[in-house]
Amino acid sequence: MTIIVHHLENSRSQRVLWLLEELGLPYEVKRYERDRKTMLAPPELKRIHPLGKAPVIEDTEADGGRVIAETGAIIDYLVEKSGGRLGPPGHRDAVLRYRHFLHYAEGSLMPPLFVLLVLGRVPLFGKAAMRRFMPMVDVHLDYVESELAQRPWFAGEAISGADIMMSFPLEAACSRAGLDESRPATIAWLAKIHARPAYQAALKVGGPYAYA
């Protein structure tokens, strides 16, 4: 095996498994379970990377071995390793869209979704705070809907690493932020990625995943 994926259940690391299946790169999975009380990653992950979070990959073929954390960096690395497959399209505007959504997924979209998750666990005032916070989330979901209404994939006419990156926050939005049929282009995009054979294969390899 070349790539070892340190995979945490119900986490961002599901995207890495999907990408590897799409690229057809050989890999091995090491699974980790969350603490049932805190829902945090187990301390064993800190033996792989100081942050103790998933996803983390190890490339055993690289000189001396190489450990890479952060989903966006992992996507860049694996796209490069595969010779550019699922990487930035050739057209300049599409390249810029690719880069934008590769960073937007975690830099802008995921933080408010995480806040909703935290607020949902706060007794008494949590639900009231969520109602006040939702308009900020709606701005992002409306933006995503407007983009997917213009083209079949985030960067352009073909699936790319940008779509892999955007999958987790939008799946999370379905369960946390009320993403539904009122945004048909986004829902159609989710149905499209879920139907891909590589996505289904990644689910079988990764084990339980609450957002598919």
**Crossing angle between the packed helical segments 71-81 and 13-23, to the nearest 10 degrees:** 10
Distance in angstroms (rounded) separating the CA atoms of residues 95 and 49: 31
**pLDDT, position 1:** 58
Rounded to two decimals, the pTM is: 0.93
> Measured over all CA atoms, what is the biggest interatomic distance in the chain, rounded to whole angstroms?
54
CATH 1.20.1050.10 location in the chain: 92-196
**Cα 3 to the center of its chain, rounded Å:** 18
Q: In the CATH scheme, what is the homologous superfamily, with its name and number, of domain 3-85+198-206?
A: Glutaredoxin (3.40.30.10)
43 in Cβ contact with 52 (< 8 Å): yes
- Torsion over CA of 38, 40, 43 and 44, rounded to 10 degrees? 130
The neighbouring-strand residues paired with 69 are 56
Element at 4 (helix H, strand E):
strand 3-8
Q: Could you tell me which residues come within 8 angstroms of residue 170 by beta carbon, excluding any fewer than 6 positions away?
A: 109, 144, 179, 186, 189, 190
Burial (CB count <10 Å: 0-12, 13-18, 19+), residue 16: buried
**pLDDT, position 132:** 84
> Can you name the CATH fold of 92-196?
Glutathione S-transferase Yfyf (Class Pi); Chain A, domain 2 (1.20.1050)
160 in Cβ contact with 88 (< 8 Å): yes
**pLDDT, position 39:** 76
Q: Which residues of the chain have pLDDT under 50?
A: none
